[in-house]
């Protein structure tokens, strides 16, 4: 009897050791830190030349929402999706080489994992957004820009932007982002640079980020919670610039786009969720020519190498 007890105890100890120290890291829960963003009305876009034609200034209102403090990492992706498509492996690096469709599938899978109502109904290539669902989703382009600019701290101004800042810096992206001049031609672990006023990291640089919207020309009039649904261009919005791009494309108002099946090693995403207005808590302390002299292939399609 004593021998059997010792054998059982040894087996239990071995199992515990395997569970804690040896099993693959992705089996541990990978939480996503969500930051509350109080809604407001701001001047979306900028008057900065030569970008103003594509960033036509207009008044935009967004409701309160939550957004992830970092781009989705490879550890977070692996925990939910069980495989890693990234070309620059590293658990704390942003997941990349993911299409827009991959991103919305991740949102639904994470929602199910956490017992939330999925935001998307996906049938083949058709994706419908249930705006009443409490699950995870992609930010809209208007939400993304509002958050990148610092929400009520930085986005709400008396007049349109004459010069667009970076996410966390008015003058230089060096302190807040990874781009062609400082990345070493690779992605970097998230949250290594300074955050913006909301505590959001890497909204300038590291990887481009998918938004929900179909890309299209900005409206001229005041708009509330736009989602790009009227734009039938076949292109989805990308924001923020990446490790591959020049500094000027990391401006918080800069716009890019590509087909929703597109994937490359400089494209990832972050996620959002709805926030109920009555439960808000104050935070503690039609296409146009590309500006900048670069074409879409040059900006979004660096050579893909397996690392």
50: preceding bond cis by omega (within 30 degrees): yes
| Lookup result for tokens 């058709």 | 126
Which has the closest alpha carbon to 290: 255, 260, 262, 258?
A: 255
> Cα separation of 165 and 277, whole Å?
28
Which has the closest alpha carbon to 215: 227, 203, 231?
A: 231
List per-block mean pLDDT (blocks of 10 residues) for the chain, which spans 307 residues. Answer: 44 40 44 97 98 97 98 98 98 98 98 98 97 98 98 97 98 97 98 98 98 96 95 95 98 98 98 76 50 52 52
- Taken in order 72, 76, 78, 80, is the CA torsion positive or negative? negative
Residue 276: the pLDDT is 78
Q: Taking the CA of residue 23 as centre, how many other CA atoms within 13 Å lie in the half-sphere pointing to its CB?
A: 12
Residue 303: the pLDDT is 53
> Cα separation of 145 and 156, whole Å?
11
Read off the pTM.
0.85
8 Å CB contact between 257 and 215: yes
Q: Which residues pair with 268 in a beta bridge?
A: 209
CATH of 30-300, one of 3.40.50.10540, 3.90.1580.10, 3.50.50.60, 3.50.40.10: 3.90.1580.10
Kindly give the residue spans of alpha helices, DSSP state H, lying in 159-303: 296-300
8 Å CB contact between 57 and 162: no
> Cα separation of 301 and 136, whole Å?
28
Q: Name residues whose C-beta falls within 8 Å of residue 68's C-beta, 6 or more positions apart in sequence.
A: 32, 33, 34, 35, 270, 271, 272
74: preceding bond cis by omega (within 30 degrees): no
Neighbours of 257 (CB within 10 A): 24
Residue 291: the pLDDT is 54
Residue 232: the pLDDT is 84
């Amino acid at each position: 009897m004593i021998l059997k007890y010792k054998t059982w105890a040894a087996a239990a100890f071995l199992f515990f050791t395997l569970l804690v120290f040896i099993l693959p890291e992705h089996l541990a829960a990978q939480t996503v830190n969500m930051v509350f963003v109080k809604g407001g009305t701001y001047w979306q876009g900028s008057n900065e030349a030569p970008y103003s034609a594509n960033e036509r200034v207009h008044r935009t209102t967004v409701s309160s929402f939550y957004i992830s403090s970092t781009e989705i990492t490879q550890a977070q992706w692996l925990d939910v999706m069980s495989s890693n498509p990234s070309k620059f492996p590293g658990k704390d690096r942003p997941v990349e080489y993911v299409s827009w469709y991959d991103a919305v599938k991740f949102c639904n899978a994470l929602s199910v994992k956490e017992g939330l109502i999925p935001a998307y109904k996906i049938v083949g290539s058709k994706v419908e957004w249930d705006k009443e669902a409490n699950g995870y989703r992609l930010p809209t382009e208007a939400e993304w820009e509002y958050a990148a600019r610092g929400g009520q701290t930085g986005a709400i101004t008396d007049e349109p932007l004459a010069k667009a800042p970076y996410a966390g810096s008015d003058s230089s992206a060096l302190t807040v982002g990874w781009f062609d001049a400082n990345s070493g031609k690779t992605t970097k672990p998230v949250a290594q640079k300074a955050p913006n006023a909301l505590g959001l990291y890497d909204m300038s640089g590291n990887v481009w980020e998918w938004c929900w919207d179909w890309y299209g020309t900005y409206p001229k009039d005041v708009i509330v919670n736009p989602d790009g649904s009227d734009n039938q261009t076949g292109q989805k919005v990308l924001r923020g610039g990446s490790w591959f791009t020049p500094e000027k494309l990391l401006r918080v108002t800069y716009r890019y786009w590509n087909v929703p099946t597109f994937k490359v090693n400089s494209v990832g995403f972050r996620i959002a969720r709805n926030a109920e207005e009555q439960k808000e808590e104050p935070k503690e302390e039609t296409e146009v020519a590309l500006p900048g002299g670069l074409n879409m292939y040059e900006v979004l399609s660096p050579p893909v190498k397996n690392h």
